[in-house]
Chain A
Amino acid sequence: MSDTDQPPVPTPRRLVLTLCGHRLPRTLGALLRTLGSDGAPELHAMFIEDSDLLKAASLPFAVEFCAATSARRPIDRARIEAHLRREAAEAERGLAELARASGIRWRFEVVRERSRAVVTHALTLTDAVVVTPREESTAPATGGITCIAGDDAAGTRARAVAGALATAEHLPLAQWRLLDATTAGPMAEPVVTAAAVPALLRRPGAQLTVLPATLVERLDASMHDLAESSPAPLVIVR
């Protein structure tokens, strides 16, 4: 595809950012610049207090399992709620600082809902949603931008966003072609089926993964929580 054939990068008026913790994605600034050729979009941050997690914590037999030490301990819903409040406050402060530095408009809300439902709802509000991982890897992200998309319109827009981000940030771009009924002929890119996407998302190293909303709809229902599905932030493009 020649440069002149590059599809335009979508310029949504609003970017929704879902958060499960206080840490903001490292690439958020770059993303705002890329999507804001006509002026930075408004940033709408939604801090998710995952209702499923709170429910699970209320079960009589619930225990918390520490992966690092393999230790178990009784879970305390009140402690989890207090932790979420602190995280939300800190996330709000971080956003305020970012907004002050970059001059963007922003708003912040806390929602108690299932994580997947929040993302689904967000996609009805705007053309681009950023899902921040519940625990973004603290190891240096040595990879670049990953894009998994098919040939539909959303997939094309997702590829445009990924390409623009990679160019702007001088990062390598790894593109995966989603196999579906419309895919035909020899592929220049590696291909992946929708079933294999969860495993691909979990692979470490990427700084950001761009997906079309159409792919998210097709993901296995087992991916209840997109925030847990990838160590890198996800950008979902409608």
Chain B
Amino acid sequence: MTTPAALAPETLYQACPLEHLSFETTAELSDGHGPFGQARAIEALEFGVEIKQPGHNLFVMGPPGSGRRSFVADVLARVAQSEPAAADWCYVNDFDDAEKPRALRLPAGAGRRLATDVRQFIDDVQAAVSAAFGSEKYRAQRQAIEHEFQEQQAEAFERVQAAARERGIRIMQTPGGMVFAPIVDGEVLGPEEFQKLPAERQRAIEQAVEQVGKLLQESMKDVPDRLRASRERVRELDRQVATFAIERLVSELTKRWRLVSDAAAWLDDLHADLASHYEILRHPHGEHQEMPFQLEADGGEPGESRAHRRYGVNVLVSNDPHLGAPVIDEQRPNYARLLGKIEHRARFGALLTDFSLIRAGALHHANGGYLVMKAERLLSEPFAWSALKECLQTGSVRIVPLDQIYGLVSTVSLEPAPIPLEVKVVLIGTPRLYYLLSELDPEFDDFFKVVAEFDDRTERSAAAAMEFAGVLARVTRENELPPLDRAAVARVVEEASRMVEDRERLSTEIRRAIDIVREACHWARKRKDDTVRREDVERAIELKARRKARLRERVHEAILRDTMVIATSGTRVGQINGLSVMTIGDQPFGRPSRITARVSLGGGEIVDIERESELGGSLHSKGVMILAGYINARFAGELPAAFAATLAFEQSYGGIDGDSASSTELYCLLSALAEVPIRQSLAVTGSVNQFGEVQAIGGVNHKIEGFFDICAERGLSGEQGVLIPRANVKHLMLRPRVIEACAAGRFHIYPVDHVDQGLELLTGMAAGTADSAGVFPADTVNRRVADRLRAFAELRLKFARLSEGSAS
């Protein structure tokens, strides 16, 4: 097997060729349309918006920062503009059941007109009724009725009084009624005078009093009936006066709205209701105006008349007929903001409500159009998700206050009539959320049948680079930033590749690229240049990394000060430099780790110290088990595995997982078995399979750079370098300093396909390939390994025999 040569500098970084960018600066470019590199998502989104079928709501999934939300907004705005405006919705009083307000559907823009018309109507009708009841004619008619009754009363009483006078009795008023006093010589008779009268005279007086009492009783017995009849006549008069006053105004109003069915039907009911509630028109603020507190005690706004409260129109949703279908982007989709709510007014300690306090939710506003929400926010709000599903399932929005759902409040509240719902919901979320919902909520797929998936990367090509440049052009224009020249764009494109650690791909997470552009613009302006150059982008990237480098520097400092021991020169048996990536926030960095292996006579077990100390994850353990598989299959042959090995990440105090160090551990173990020293100037990354083939790992750029930084600080010797899986070569997008060092031969990156290649690089000794008999050539690493294993096996056999002898 040939030992691989170090990679040439041009393979370590894929620059963006300037000839791919056919412009001088982004100022020449038209704005890029749509999100970058999301052709499939765009197609799905457009389909999802166009299809008008039940359950065909959209879930737009993709990584944050990929432009999902702004693109959804653009598409919906464009589509909605060409669609008819949605209906207006109003809540009004249901005169038969005030607890169940009635919903009126009106053409777009008509809601406010109806509210204004009705308000004006109430003002007019109040004035008309008030004038009618204040007229001389009415007063006279009413007075006549009342006088008739009072005169009947007075006459009846006068007759009794006359009879009383004839009998020498005076009728006097008391606080509770009347009392009869005998009169003698014009004076009321007192008890003493009465006692002095002869018994016969006393009896006569008592009889007279009794008679007058009876007469009065007789006279009064018809009073209630007469009073009732009089009141009924007054009421009938009032009805006639009120009806006459309002008839023309009602007729005008109903005529104006006769073509709008919901409004016409309600106005008919209003007309009928007015006939029996004209009193509230006559006394707009109640009859007891001297008691101001009572005016507001029924829950209305101060100064608002009772008629306005009873007959007002609550415009829940008002749409402009010229603006197309509504598109609502609900940023805080909690239960109340989604479904609407019923507000209350506090009046003297009581909470009062009526139909005028019903408030629309996002679903009401989006009805007939589109509702956009972030899935994560929706799901984090209690009851919001289930409420949304219920609305989509029933095709209507029903406002039920949360306290009623909880059952915490048992007071009577409103039950507004449900409003028919026709809305397309667009949820925006991460793929993880989508798959979780799909997995855990059996109804989810019924309601969200269309998925528009935003990818986190796209293929890197000349066309993609131009598309990317178009997006940057739009961003700079929208934010009034200076344009980028094509070298600067090329650098941003290259950084987009580095973001996804793939020089053949570009990150679609455009937000991070935009952040770099904004900062580069800052540096360009500081240079007093009206164009952003490549150096500005470089500077922005470098400074951004430096700003967040505190932890990386702390770790590297510990290595450079030998607190954490990492050798970058010399050789040692059973010791190797592994590489790992630490991610803090959005700034990953590579960190070398010392891995050691020790072997001894044993039963074939490889002890993963990380696993034993519960610091290693399951993937790491899997990698270690693969090592055992490789060693046993390649070297043990028919011999029993008679060694024991321990593997450890030295000075590692946190958890370790992943199998990217499995090839490193294998090299270390083979070194220990073969007792062949490993060059400490090299570091290794890569996973390995049971055949010894080295496989790709993640974070290759950061791992290389992490070891490079340590070596560079200590001084590059020309011996140092990193072994990486060959499959990772296409992912290389290294920093310029690393490339420069490689070009100068002071640092090396070796692509490895098989552990044998790695062994040769690490030990400087041939790995050795077994012949047909399974025997490795002499003076090779593998031969030494095989010999050592055989020696362990024989030793173990010897011990076994000795044990058997002593036992027998």
Residues in chain A within 8 A of chain B (CB atoms): 50, 52-53, 55-68, 70, 72-73, 75, 80, 83-84, 87, 134-135, 139, 142-143, 199, 202-205, 221-222, 224-225, 228
Report if A205-B146 is in contact (Cβ < 8 Å); known contacts: A59-B194, A70-B221.
Answer: yes
- Judged by a CB distance under 8 angstroms, whether B142 is at the interface is yes
23 contacts between A and B (CB under 8 A): A52-B172, A53-B174, A55-B191, A56-B170, A58-B190, A59-B190, A61-B205, A63-B213, A64-B174, A64-B178, A65-B179, A65-B180, A65-B217, A67-B177, A67-B220, A68-B177, A83-B175, A84-B175, A142-B143, A199-B158, A205-B143, A222-B161, A222-B165
Stretch from B181-189, B569-577, B701-709 contacting the other chain: B181-189
B181 touches A55 (CB 8 A): yes
Q: Considering only CB atoms, which chain B residue lies closest to A224 in the complex?
A: B170
What is the CB-to-nearest-CB distance from B11 to chain A, in angstroms, rounded to a whole number? 102
Kindly state the separation between the CA atoms of A199 and B146 in the bound complex, as whole angstroms. 17
B146 touches A139 (CB 8 A): yes
Report if A60-B191 is in contact (Cβ < 8 Å); known contacts: A204-B150, A205-B143, A224-B170.
Answer: yes
A65 touches B213 (CB 8 A): yes
A65 touches B209 (CB 8 A): no
B180 touches A204 (CB 8 A): no
- Judged by a CB distance under 8 angstroms, whether B151 is at the interface is yes
Kindly state the separation between the CA atoms of A59 and B197 in the bound complex, as whole angstroms. 13
Report if A203-B154 is in contact (Cβ < 8 Å); known contacts: A64-B177, A65-B216.
Answer: yes
Q: Considering only CB atoms, which chain B residue lies closest to A114 in the complex?
A: B188
Residues of chain B with a CB closer than 8 A to A59's CB: 181-182, 189-191, 194
Residues of chain A with a CB closer than 8 A to B190's CB: 55, 58-59
What is the CB-to-nearest-CB distance from B209 to chain A, in angstroms, rounded to a whole number? 6
B172 touches A228 (CB 8 A): yes
B179 touches A203 (CB 8 A): no
- Residues of chain B from 189 to 241 with CB closer than 8 A to chain A in the complex: 189-191, 194, 205-206, 209, 213, 216-217, 220-221, 223
With A57-B179, A83-B175 given, name 12 new contacts (CB 8 A).
A52-B170, A59-B191, A61-B206, A64-B177, A64-B179, A65-B178, A68-B223, A72-B213, A75-B179, A80-B175, A143-B143, A203-B150
Q: Considering only CB atoms, which chain A residue lies closest to B182 in the complex?
A: A59
- Judged by a CB distance under 8 angstroms, whether B449 is at the interface is no
Q: Considering only CB atoms, which chain B residue lies closest to A220 in the complex?
A: B165
- Judged by a CB distance under 8 angstroms, whether B442 is at the interface is no
- Judged by a CB distance under 8 angstroms, whether B806 is at the interface is no
Q: Considering only CB atoms, which chain B residue lies closest to A198 in the complex?
A: B158
- Residues of chain B from 132 to 151 with CB closer than 8 A to chain A in the complex: 139, 142-143, 146-147, 150-151
Kindly state the separation between the CA atoms of A59 and B190 in the bound complex, as whole angstroms. 7
B174 touches A57 (CB 8 A): yes
Kindly state the separation between the CA atoms of A195 and B755 in the bound complex, as whole angstroms. 140
- State the main secondary structure of chain B at its contact with A: helix
- Judged by a CB distance under 8 angstroms, whether B349 is at the interface is no
Residues of chain A with a CB closer than 8 A to B479's CB: none
Kindly state the separation between the CA atoms of A58 and B174 in the bound complex, as whole angstroms. 13
- Judged by a CB distance under 8 angstroms, whether B173 is at the interface is yes
Kindly state the separation between the CA atoms of A99 and B47 in the bound complex, as whole angstroms. 83
What is the CB-to-nearest-CB distance from A68 to chain B, in angstroms, rounded to a whole number? 8
B188 touches A56 (CB 8 A): yes
A66 touches B176 (CB 8 A): yes
B177 touches A65 (CB 8 A): yes
B178 touches A67 (CB 8 A): yes
Residues of chain A with a CB closer than 8 A to B151's CB: 203-204
Residues of chain A with a CB closer than 8 A to B142's CB: 142
What is the CB-to-nearest-CB distance from B133 to chain A, in angstroms, rounded to a whole number? 11
B181 touches A64 (CB 8 A): no
B177 touches A225 (CB 8 A): no
Which residue, of B190, B205, B221, has the highest number of chain A Cβ atoms within 10 A?
B190
B176 touches A64 (CB 8 A): yes
Residues of chain B with a CB closer than 8 A to A53's CB: 172-174, 179, 181
Kindly state the separation between the CA atoms of A203 and B144 in the bound complex, as whole angstroms. 12
Which residue, of B143, B186, B191, has the highest number of chain A Cβ atoms within 10 A?
B191
Kindly state the separation between the CA atoms of A99 and B173 in the bound complex, as whole angstroms. 29
Kindly state the separation between the CA atoms of A70 and B504 in the bound complex, as whole angstroms. 108
Kindly state the separation between the CA atoms of A34 and B632 in the bound complex, as whole angstroms. 127
Kindly state the separation between the CA atoms of A202 and B154 in the bound complex, as whole angstroms. 7
Kindly state the separation between the CA atoms of A66 and B147 in the bound complex, as whole angstroms. 22
Q: Which of B147, B165, B209, B223 contacts A61 (CB 8 A)?
A: B209
Q: Which of B139, B173, B180, B188 contacts A142 (CB 8 A)?
A: B139
Residues of chain B with a CB closer than 8 A to A52's CB: 170, 172, 181, 188
Report if A203-B217 is in contact (Cβ < 8 Å); known contacts: A53-B174, A56-B188.
Answer: no
Residues of chain A with a CB closer than 8 A to B213's CB: 63, 65, 72
Q: Considering only CB atoms, which chain A residue lies closest to B142 in the complex?
A: A142
Residues of chain B with a CB closer than 8 A to A70's CB: 217, 220-221
What is the CB-to-nearest-CB distance from B143 to chain A, in angstroms, rounded to a whole number? 5
B186 touches A221 (CB 8 A): yes
Kindly state the separation between the CA atoms of A222 and B183 in the bound complex, as whole angstroms. 10
B172 touches A66 (CB 8 A): no
Q: Considering only CB atoms, which chain B residue lies closest to A225 in the complex?
A: B172
A56 touches B147 (CB 8 A): no
What is the CB-to-nearest-CB distance from A66 to chain B, in angstroms, rounded to a whole number? 4
B143 touches A134 (CB 8 A): no
What is the CB-to-nearest-CB distance from A187 to chain B, in angstroms, rounded to a whole number? 23
Residues of chain B with a CB closer than 8 A to A63's CB: 179-180, 213
What is the CB-to-nearest-CB distance from B464 to chain A, in angstroms, rounded to a whole number? 88
Residues of chain A with a CB closer than 8 A to B188's CB: 52, 55-56
Residues of chain A with a CB closer than 8 A to B182's CB: 59
Report if A135-B173 is in contact (Cβ < 8 Å); known contacts: A143-B143, A203-B147, A203-B154.
Answer: yes
Residues of chain B with a CB closer than 8 A to A134's CB: 173
Which residue, of A58, A62, A73, A80, has the highest number of chain B Cβ atoms within 10 A?
A62
Kindly state the separation between the CA atoms of A143 and B194 in the bound complex, as whole angstroms. 44
Which residue, of A56, A66, A228, has the highest number of chain B Cβ atoms within 10 A?
A56
Q: Considering only CB atoms, which chain A residue lies closest to B209 in the complex?
A: A61
Residues of chain B with a CB closer than 8 A to A135's CB: 173
Residues of chain A with a CB closer than 8 A to B217's CB: 65, 70
B150 touches A80 (CB 8 A): no
Which residue, of B165, B180, B189, has the highest number of chain A Cβ atoms within 10 A?
B180
B179 touches A67 (CB 8 A): no
Q: Considering only CB atoms, which chain A residue lies closest to B161 in the complex?
A: A222
A55 touches B189 (CB 8 A): yes
What is the CB-to-nearest-CB distance from B396 to chain A, in angstroms, rounded to a whole number? 50
A56 touches B177 (CB 8 A): no
Q: Considering only CB atoms, which chain A residue lies closest to B217 in the complex?
A: A70
Kindly state the separation between the CA atoms of A61 and B207 in the bound complex, as whole angstroms. 10
What is the CB-to-nearest-CB distance from B39 to chain A, in angstroms, rounded to a whole number? 82
Kindly state the separation between the CA atoms of A52 and B170 in the bound complex, as whole angstroms. 10
Report if A66-B177 is in contact (Cβ < 8 Å); known contacts: A50-B172, A53-B172, A205-B146.
Answer: yes
Q: Considering only CB atoms, which chain A residue lies closest to B140 in the complex?
A: A142
What is the CB-to-nearest-CB distance from B200 to chain A, in angstroms, rounded to a whole number? 15
Residues of chain A with a CB closer than 8 A to B194's CB: 59-60
Residues of chain A with a CB closer than 8 A to B205's CB: 61
Residues of chain B with a CB closer than 8 A to A222's CB: 161, 165
Kindly state the separation between the CA atoms of A68 and B190 in the bound complex, as whole angstroms. 27
Which residue, of A70, A72, A84, A222, has the highest number of chain B Cβ atoms within 10 A?
A70
Q: Considering only CB atoms, which chain A residue lies closest to B194 in the complex?
A: A59
Residues of chain B with a CB closer than 8 A to A73's CB: 176
Kindly state the separation between the CA atoms of A163 and B180 in the bound complex, as whole angstroms. 39
Residues of chain B with a CB closer than 8 A to A64's CB: 174, 176-179
Residues of chain A with a CB closer than 8 A to B221's CB: 70
What is the CB-to-nearest-CB distance from B185 to chain A, in angstroms, rounded to a whole number? 11
Residues of chain B with a CB closer than 8 A to A83's CB: 175
Kindly state the separation between the CA atoms of A174 and B217 in the bound complex, as whole angstroms. 34
Report if A204-B147 is in contact (Cβ < 8 Å); known contacts: A55-B190, A59-B191.
Answer: yes
Kindly state the separation between the CA atoms of A142 and B176 in the bound complex, as whole angstroms. 27
What are the 6 closest A-B residue pairs judged by CB atoms, nearest first? A56-B181, A204-B150, A52-B188, A66-B177, A55-B190, A83-B175
Report if A80-B174 is in contact (Cβ < 8 Å); known contacts: A58-B191, A59-B181, A63-B213.
Answer: yes
Kindly state the separation between the CA atoms of A204 and B180 in the bound complex, as whole angstroms. 24
Kindly state the separation between the CA atoms of A1 and B363 in the bound complex, as whole angstroms. 78
